[in-house]
Amino acid sequence: YLGPQPKFSELGLSTFSHMEPEIRVNDNQLEIKLKCKEALKFTHQLIDCRTDKDLSEYVFTQTLHGVVSFIISFPESDWYKFQIFALPQGDESKSEITVMLFPF
């Protein structure tokens, strides 16, 4: 299932930069922005689909004025899967919820 996952809107998230779940990448960098209604903590995972290698270190995340930005610098031209996970800021649970899934 691509794009927003079932808990996406329940956590007060909305798309800000990309409305469609499939994104075409024309160069080696991409920025995805989401709006947050409440304070959330995020993690992410960038996977090279050909090698199944985790390349999450190529993603920079920042939050400013209720907008979280994921800036992805792709190491090479390939097929990737990008997952975004979130939990409410005060939630001490260790199991984050998948809120968005993108193929590139």
pLDDT tens, the chain, 104 aa long:
688 898 899 999 999 886 666 677 778 899 999 999 999 999 999 999 999 999 999 999 999 999 999 999 999 999 999 999 999 988 888 788 999 888 87
Phi, psi of 57 (to 5 degrees): -70, -10
State the pLDDT at residue 94. 77
Q: Which residues contact 58 (CB under 8 A, 6 or more apart)?
A: 46, 72, 73, 74, 75
Confidence (pTM): 0.89
